[in-house]
Structures are given as structure tokens and as C-alpha cells.
Amino acid sequence: MPLTPAQALASIAVMAVVTFMTRALPFLLFDRGEHPPKLVLYLGRVLPPAIIAMLIVYCLKGVTFTSPAGWVPPLVAGLAAVLLHIWKGNDLLSIFGATILYMGLVQGVFG
């Protein structure tokens, strides 16, 4: 269902205000001269590993062990991502390298 021009403008205005507030809120909450609160520092330390763990579980939830095609490509690609990241420390290289390896295994070797 298409929006009327007034609805479209109202939607754009709401999105602009919300985007502006999400960008401005940290500067309004935290004074530039002070350190961030301990809760923010704690969350900054524990959330990245927790999010990575959730992504790993999500990516490997469909792995089946009924045939090698169901478990070899995801586990080999996951191991490749870890090794590439340890070797080079580059996020994009790890992501793209593991993705290319996975697609090659799925479509070329096990396809």
C-alpha cells in the first residue's frame, strides 16, 4: 500500500529525528572531560565476544552430520576464518576468505 505524500514526509521526519538523536545522545550523556561510566566500559569489553559467539551459533545451527557435505564446508570455513584472523588480524580478509572457501567447497567439491 503506497504512502500519501504527507505520510511519506512524516515517516522521513521521524526517521531523521531518531537518527539525529542516536548520533547526538552519546555526546549529550557523556561530558567530553570525563571518562565513560563503568557500565559502558564493561559492556564495551563483554559485548563483542558475546555477539561473535551468538553469530557462530547462528551460522552453525543447520550443520548436519549425516553426510560430509553437511558438516565439512561450514567447519572448514569457520576454522579458516579463525586462522586467517590470527594470521593477518584483518576482519575483511577473514570474512571474505572464509566465505570464498565455503562457497567453493559447497558448489565445487560437495555440490
- Note whether 51 and 101 are same-domain residues: yes
- Note whether 39 and 23 are same-domain residues: no
User: Which contacts qualify for 49-56: CB closer than 8 Å, 24 or more apart?
Assistant: none
Domain containing residue 11: 1-32
Regarding pTM above 0.75, the answer is: no
Q: Using alpha carbons, select from 89, 88, 63, 67 the residue that is nearest to residue 77.
A: 63
DSSP secondary structure code for residue 62 in this structure: T
- Note whether 27 and 39 are same-domain residues: no
- Cα dihedral sign, 62-68-73-77: positive
- Note whether 48 and 70 are same-domain residues: yes
pLDDT of residue 20: 96
Structural domains of the chain, count: 2
- Note whether 16 and 46 are same-domain residues: no
- Note whether 79 and 104 are same-domain residues: yes
- Note whether 25 and 39 are same-domain residues: no
Q: Dihedral through CA 75, CA 77, CA 79, CA 82, nearest 10?
A: -140
- Note whether 12 and 57 are same-domain residues: no
pLDDT of residue 111: 77
- Note whether 49 and 6 are same-domain residues: no
Cβ contacts of 110 within 8 Å, gap of 6 or more: 68, 69, 72, 73
> Each residue's pLDDT tens digit in the chain (111 positions)?
899 999 999 999 999 999 999 999 888 877 676 777 888 889 999 999 899 899 889 989 999 999 999 999 999 999 999 999 999 999 899 999 999 999 999 999 987
